[in-house]
Amino acid sequence: MESECPGPMTLRRSEEARPVRSLTDHPLFTSPAPAVGSVEAEEIVRQHYGFDVSLTPLHSERDTNYLAQAEDRRFILKITNAEEPQGVTDFQTAALLHLERCGTELPTPRLVRALSGEPALNLALAGGRSTVRLLDYLDGVPLKDRPRREFPLAEIGRVLAKLDSALSSFDHTFKQYELLWDSSNLGRLRPLIEYISDPELAKQCQGVIDHFVSNIEPRIADLRWQIIHNDVNLNNILISEASSRVTGIFDFGDIIYAPRINELAVTCSYHICNEIDFAETIGPLVSSYHELTPLDEDEIDVIYDLIVARFVTTISITYWRATMFPANRAYVMRNNPIAVEGLHILQNAGRQSVQQVLRAACNME
């Protein structure tokens, strides 16, 4: 297919201020996932897509998702939270369509058109109106299921760079919406600190937020901003069993307009652990990303703080949501230990040591 992907845009934070509102009473963050059972979901696929499928439930933070098995084909069925603004859902759908138009090289999901020809359907369901999307299943093994020393870090960095390059030419009228998981806007999470049950950890996270608001937010305002995936974690990357090639990057539910460098920082945060020295993980990631999508010194200088900000975002949100939805605690808290461990590692190492690794990875010593 000939690419229809336009050239990169120059986007800056100063275009428009993002709204700030209360987090703890936002209906999207406090509402459970749609109560759509497998029987109803199978009928949706049959009626609107023409496939007879059997469904297996998949975990999700806000939505209801199923693995759908047809006779000779597999899909992912996504049913959005009824409280998600339609503009946000349309933003995610438009991003996937944009990546599809940009060519076939990126291993991102393709939307399956309904019988009506639409890539997404807005349907009245048991819990209210929700957007329904069916996506082609991506083959591969979740990165989280492979030993850490086998992670193809350099390739992940390259694929991430290509993804951001493609997204750099994407724009949408709803790009400025407020997202809880936007760690570049860390100050909004102060009200969630009280949900952290470990007093010492809570104090540590509060200190990070105070420093970030005073010293980092003013600096990132002038960096290169664009739409990013914002959640390339170990659950959202698939690799080939045979070659460790990246075969999938999925789950665009946290897509956001933010500093481009935050994409790399978020991804790096999931690779910092006690098992391997942080230089052996973030070094190859940053180096390979930089080769294809060059970083400047101002971006390199804030990666440490953006990684730490992601850890605090994960810690505060997961403690809060686990309190709200105890039945879903295991899923909600799945990345909490990684974040706590990573926060301790980086703070013990110190900003200067991490900066030296990052600068060496980009030949900026």
pLDDT at 26: 57
**Tokens standing for 183?**
């760690």
Which tokens hold the place of 262? 């935050």
What is the percent of the chain with per-residue pLDDT over 70, rounded to a whole number? 92
Q: Is the pLDDT of residue 195 over 70?
A: yes
Q: Which residues contact 2 (CB under 8 A, 6 or more apart)?
A: none
- In DSSP terms, which residues pair with 77 in a beta bridge? 66, 134
Task: Describe the strand order of the beta sheet including 121-125 as a list of residue ranges.
Answer: 54-58, 64-69, 74-79, 128-136, 121-125
pLDDT at residue 82 tops 50: yes
Question: pLDDT: is 18 or 267 the higher one?
Answer: 267
Residue with tokens 């020295």: 277
Paired with 238 in beta bridges are 142, 248
| pLDDT recorded at residue 83 | 87
Ramachandran area for residue 244 (φ above 0: left; ψ -120 to 50: alpha; else beta): left
Task: Write the pLDDT tens digit of every residue in 257-274.
Answer: 999 999 999 999 999 999
Calculate the CA dihedral of residues 102, 252, 106, 137 and round it to 10 degrees: -120
- Over the range 45-70, which residues count as b (16 or more CB within 10 Å of their CB) and which as e? beebbebebebeeeebbbbbbbebbe
In this predicted structure, the answer to whether residue 119 has a pLDDT above a threshold of 90 is yes
Q: What one-character-per-residue DSSP string does 288-307 give?
A: HHHHHSPPPHHHHHHHHHHH
- State how far the Cα of 278 lies from the Cα of 57, in Å rounded to an integer: 35
* Residue 222 to residues 15, 203, 261, 309, 313, Cα–Cα distance (Å): 11, 29, 12, 18, 22
pLDDT tens track for 45-74: 999 999 999 999 998 878 999 999 999 999
Please, which residues have CB within 8 angstroms of residue 356's CB and are 6 or more apart in sequence? Answer: 365
DSSP letter, residue 124: E
Global pTM?
A: 0.91
Which residue from 256, 50, 267 is spatially nearest to 154, judged by alpha carbons?
267
pLDDT of residue 17: 41
Q: For the chain, where are the E strands, in sequence order?
A: 11-12, 54-58, 64-69, 74-79, 121-125, 128-136, 141-142, 224-228, 237-239, 246-249, 256-259
Q: What is the mean pLDDT of residues 287-308?
A: 97
Mean pLDDT of 26-33: 66
CA distance 6 to 170: 8
Whole-number pLDDT of residue 11: 47
Which tokens belong to 167?
């997204």
In this prediction, residue 5 has a pLDDT band, given cuts at 50, 70 and 90, of: confident
Nearest one of 178, 346, 168, 336 to 260, comparing CA atoms: 168
* Choice between 3 and 338, residue whose per-residue pLDDT is larger: 338
Q: What is the pLDDT of residues 132-174, one digit of tens each?
A: 999 999 999 999 999 999 999 999 999 999 999 999 999 999 9
Q: What is the mean pLDDT of the chain?
A: 91
Which pair of tokens denotes residue 43? 């009928």
Q: What is the pLDDT of residue 18?
A: 44
